[in-house]
Every structure is written in C-alpha cells, then in structure tokens.
C-alpha cells in the first residue's frame, strides 16, 4: 500500500494524519479468535480490530475456556438487587436503566 502526503479528512472536516489508519481498522481485522485453528473444538472464524474486542467475544462465546485460562474478570454484582453480570458495562447500564 502506498499513501500520499495528503491527510485524510474525518467526518468533522478536520485533517487528521491518523484518520486513514483508524479507518483501515474498520476493514482490516488482525486479531483472530483462539479457536480459529483449533483441532479439538469447532473452528471460529471471528476476527476483530483490537484485543479488547476479541476478549469480549471470547468471554461471550467461549466462556468455559476463558474461565480455565483465567481471562474472566469476575462477576459484577448489582449492589441494589443482587443481579450478576459478566461484564461491567452491562452492570453499569442495568443500574442506570433500573435503579435511577
């Protein structure tokens, strides 16, 4: 790939020299699921742009394996009602929408 010296304009109209690389991350997904080449389990062809997205995928779709590998952060329990969530953002949304 060759890139010229002009900057890619983002949606705000400002010139950002990193915007083109950020945009390419939408199309290029270098992080592959650990189950992509697994000889034991069904293969998973999920690819993501970043490690955080892949961790979220693994926790949602390959939970037992993630627990064995120690990738699970722990349960997130609502202090108001005791409901538990696998992700902190889901707990935050629950509290915001249920216990205002």
Considering the chain, what is the average pLDDT of its residues? 82
Residue 68 has pLDDT above 70, yes or no: yes
Q: Phi-psi bin for 70: left (phi > 0), alpha (psi -120 to 50), beta?
A: left
Residue 5 has pLDDT above 50, yes or no: no
DSSP symbol at 11: T
3 Cβ neighbours under 8 A, 6+ residues apart: 20
Range of the domain at 93: 73-100
Residue 45 lies in a domain: yes
Question: Where would I find the beta strands (DSSP E) of 37-89?
Answer: 47-48, 76-77, 84-85
Residue 84 lies in a domain: yes
* Count of domains forming the chain: 2
pLDDT band at 4 (very low <50, low <70, confident <90, very high): very low
| Residue of higher predicted confidence among 8 and 67 | 67
pLDDT digits (tens, 9 = 90+) for 28-54: 888 999 988 888 777 899 999 889 999
Residue 11 has pLDDT above 80, yes or no: no
CA distance 19 to 62: 33
> What's 79's domain CATH number?
3.30.160
64 Cβ neighbours under 8 A, 6+ residues apart: none
Residue 14 has pLDDT above 60, yes or no: no
């Amino acid at each position: 790939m060759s890139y010229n010296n002009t900057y890619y304009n983002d949606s705000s109209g400002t010139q950002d020299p990193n915007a083109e690389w950020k945009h390419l991350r939408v199309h290029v997904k270098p992080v592959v699921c650990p189950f992509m080449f697994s000889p034991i389990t069904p293969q998973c062809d999920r690819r993501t742009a970043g490690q955080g997205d892949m961790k979220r995928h693994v926790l949602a779709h390959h939970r037992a394996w993630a627990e064995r590998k120690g990738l699970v952060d722990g349960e997130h329990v609502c202090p108001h009602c005791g409901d538990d969530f696998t992700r902190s953002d889901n707990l935050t949304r629950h509290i915001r929408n249920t216990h205002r």
